[in-house]
Amino acid sequence: MEGFISVVKSVNDAVNGFVWGLPMLILLVGTGILMTALTGFFQVKYLPHWMRGTIGGIIKDKHVTAHTDKEDTQISQFQSLCTALAATIGTGNIAGVAAAIASGGPGAIFWMWIVAFFGMMTNFSENVLGIYYRRRNEKDEWCGGAMYYLRDGLGAKKGCRQIGAVLAVLFSIFCVIASFGIGNMGQINSIAINMNSAFGIPTIVTGIILMILAGLVIVGGLKRIAAVTERLVPFMAVIYLIGAIIVCAVNIGQVGAVFTSIIKGAFGLRAVGGGIVGSGVAMAVQWGMKRGVFSNEAGLGSSVMVHSSSNVREPVIQGMWGIFEVFADTIVVCTLTAFAVLSSGLVDLDTGEVLSESVSTALVADAFSTVFGGFGSAFIAIAILFFAFSTVLGWSQYGSRGFEYLFGTKSIKFYQIIFVLFIVVGATMDLSLAWDLSDTFNGMMAIPNLIGVLALSGTVVKITKNYVDRKIRGRDVKPMLSAHDNIQKIHEEEITS
């Protein structure tokens, strides 16, 4: 068994190095930069508008949070956000941030912010395309995602029909595999190890309990998952944020030094181990970008699969929820985690050296323990439990959509059963292997998705301009709401011809 794991690690390291090399990071961030430029810095220019439509809508607009009828297969805007955040707010916000600091230094946080800023518009574009190209399945559920805009969007371009179809299949395959890594085993493993460390609960026991709980939710489909996540996500996020804010408040005198350390580390202006400044910057960039993507998933094409199930008709409205999703996940949650760790005295702010022997989640637990004492470790273990378990629920839906695209609607139950059984596997497997596999298939998902976003960037711009003209500038123009009718007409013509 050890020999097999060693071979898997070797192969995965080689693939991971290729997937997360410089070209991939350029493609990932470059797509965000391009969409930001093409939409006229939408996330900045229309900040008040998308804030009113998202967080403002949750507070004031009952249509945002109102549940759909029991017979209705759609979910509300707020449920779609919570299900997407359930998948993104996971171990990446705790263990991932700590790993970025430990491996890339405080400067990695700056590059995490950069990825998030431009990633807002990547996520925006994915959601716009997801709503625009979505379609109904046999159960009358909305199905959307990269596989559909690759097949029906990219595939509709002259000479691109085959490549669109192939990329759609590849994305679906990578999505299904990734759901077992980032969305299952990596998350469950973190829960099991932390529950064992904090409370002495055997990993196999944790795995079995979580398998049962997850099974009860997942087999109920999207409506049940959404019903659970809309209650779980706000609760877990608020409790964790309060804890992190308290840690930062206690160490408020270190905030200036933390900012300075982050900026200096990002550009190699601080001392670096061995004196290799260029190497230090490279590590900060790589780890900041990698962990940023792992955390908010912008560019993977994952959350669009649940956003597309929303009862929204306007593609841009769901696109704005995508902006808010990245903002909440990385700019808010990840930043507070980073400041809690960096202000705690566990990291030398001059050199970036981690002074604690702890790594990953344990480093965050140590930071919280400097304020909360022994309760700090228990707090982080419980936070990981909620964060990671909610991620499992969210990613089960992503994997279901990928599996459905490949094998049809009737095959979903089979996928759900296998997914739930793998929870026990995740609880007992090697942690480093689980994380490495997650990174690899994250990157492989991103490639076909980003090709689709880039190829259809003109469509995103047209839909966005159409929305701005109608809703912000008050012009009387015909709305661009869905390509479904045109796609259906083309398919019917192909069948009859």
Say which residue, 430 or 281, is predicted with more confidence. Answer: 430
Reference 28, options 107, 108, 121; nearest CA is 121
For tokens 């707020």, name the residue: 78
Say which residue, 34 or 219, is predicted with more confidence. Answer: 34
Highest mean pLDDT among 28-42, 186-200, 311-325: 28-42
Among left, alpha and beta (phi > 0; psi -120 to 50; other), residue 360 is: left
Strands annotated E in 246-358: none
pLDDT tens, 78-136? 777 677 676 667 677 777 788 788 877 888 888 889 888 999 999 999 999 999 998 88
Does the pLDDT of residue 272 top 60, yes or no? no
Give the pLDDT confidence score for residue 273 in this predicted structure: 41
Tell me the two tokens of residue 42.
């939408």
What b/e sequence results for 248-261 when a residue is b if at least 16 CB atoms lie within 10 Å of its CB, and e otherwise? beebeebeeebbeb
What are the φ/ψ torsions at residue 272 (nearest 5 degrees)?
-120, 140
Highest mean pLDDT among 259-273, 309-323, 355-369: 309-323
Does the pLDDT of residue 61 top 60, yes or no? no
- Name 109's Cβ contacts closer than 8 Å, sequence gap at least 6: 97, 100, 101, 262, 266, 288, 334, 335, 338, 342
Does the pLDDT of residue 191 top 50, yes or no? yes
What's the rounded mean pLDDT across residues 288-314? 76
Give the pLDDT confidence score for residue 139 in this predicted structure: 75
Give the pLDDT confidence score for residue 456 in this predicted structure: 95
What's the rounded mean pLDDT across residues 18-22? 60
pLDDT tens, 128-187? 999 999 888 777 778 888 999 999 999 999 999 999 999 999 999 999 988 888 788 878
Quick one: pLDDT band at residue 74, thresholds 50, 70, 90? low
Tell me the two tokens of residue 92.
């990446």
Residue 189 sits at the vertex; the CA angle it makes with 185 and 191, to the nearest 5 degrees, is 125
- Is 382 in contact with 94 (CB distance < 8 Å)? no
CA–CA dist 314, 318 (Å, integer)? 7
Q: Residue 35, Cβ neighbours under 10 Å: how many?
A: 27
Give the pLDDT confidence score for residue 208 in this predicted structure: 92
Give the pLDDT confidence score for residue 274 in this predicted structure: 37
Does the pLDDT of residue 399 top 50, yes or no? yes
319 by Cβ neighbours in 10 Å (0-12 / 13-18 / 19+) ranks as buried
Percent above pLDDT 70 for the chain: 78
Quick one: pLDDT band at residue 453, thresholds 50, 70, 90? very high
For tokens 């992190």, name the residue: 244
Mean predicted lDDT score pLDDT of the chain: 80
- Name 364's Cβ contacts closer than 8 Å, sequence gap at least 6: 94, 95, 97, 98, 337, 340, 341, 380
Does the pLDDT of residue 194 top 70, yes or no? yes
- Is 316 in contact with 461 (CB distance < 8 Å)? no
Q: Residue 474, Cβ neighbours under 10 Å: how many?
A: 7
Highest mean pLDDT among 186-200, 238-252, 283-297: 238-252
Give the pLDDT confidence score for residue 278 in this predicted structure: 43
What's the rounded mean pLDDT across residues 191-213? 87
**DSSP at 341:** H
Beta bridge partners, 136, equal 142
Give the pLDDT confidence score for residue 455 in this predicted structure: 95
What end-to-end distance do the CA atoms of the chain give, in Å? 55
What's the rounded mean pLDDT across residues 266-277? 51
Q: Which amino acid is at 402?
A: G
Give the pLDDT confidence score for residue 290 in this predicted structure: 66
- Is 210 in contact with 423 (CB distance < 8 Å)? yes
Give the pLDDT confidence score for residue 42 in this predicted structure: 95
Quick one: pLDDT band at residue 450, thresholds 50, 70, 90? very high
CA–CA dist 352, 100 (Å, integer)? 11
Give the pLDDT confidence score for residue 458 in this predicted structure: 94
Set out the domains of the chain in order of their start, with CATH numbers.
2-496 (1.20.1740)
Give the pLDDT confidence score for residue 280 in this predicted structure: 53
Beta bridge partners, 354, equal 347
> Picking from 259-263, 290-294, 330-334, 425-429, which range would have the lowest pLDDT averaged per residue?
290-294
Does the pLDDT of residue 269 top 70, yes or no? no
Reference 472, options 155, 53, 185; nearest CA is 53
